[in-house]
Amino acid sequence: MKISHIEHVGIAVSSLDDAIPFYEKTFGLKCYAIEEVPDQKVRTAFFKVGATKIELLEGTSDDSPITRFIEKRGEGVNHIAFAVEDGVGNALNEADKKGIRTIDKEPRTGAEGLRIAFLHPKSTHGVLTELCENPKITK
Ligand code: ZN
């Protein structure tokens, strides 16, 4: 698979209402989008940092993966997302052929309407890894 860059870093937070002003005031970053992804039971907030983004994730229910992550480990880095050049489906097949445990069998639509798929942290040295369609970087 061909990775062009780190598309985003996903950070689990208890409250977007607390975390967004923190990122804006502390780092001078501007939140440009807040989006709910009902499929994943999360609300997300995005900040651009060069070609990479920070994705803050807040769980929207008790059984949200983000709520459970915070219960177990507290707030913090949840996943890293690589932008793949040659299609998420191809990258997922390639990972599968290499015996890497995948969370998704097929790409699905994540935040910002991008095609995504997750690899299991048990197969990736402990890092929940997202493969993400490479968005056109225009700004
Ligand atoms: Zn993500």
H helices of the chain, in order, are: 16-27, 65-73, 88-97
Q: What's the 98 CA to ligand 1 centre distance in angstroms?
A: 23
Q: Per residue of the chain (139 residues), give pLDDT as tens.
A: 999 999 999 999 999 999 999 999 999 999 999 999 998 899 999 999 999 999 999 999 999 999 999 999 999 999 999 999 989 999 999 999 999 999 999 999 888 888 999 999 999 999 999 999 987 644 3
Q: What's the 117 CA to ligand 1 centre distance in angstroms?
A: 9
Q: Give the bridge partners for 132, in sequence order.
A: 83, 116
Taken in order of first residue, the domains within the chain and their CATH numbers are: 3-133 (3.10.180.10)
pLDDT reported for residue 136: 64
> Residues 93, 105, 108, 38: what is their CA dihedral angle, to the nearest 10 degrees?
-160
Write out the residues surrounding ion ligand 1, Cβ under 5 A. Answer: 10, 55, 81, 130
Q: What's the 124 CA to ligand 1 centre distance in angstroms?
A: 16
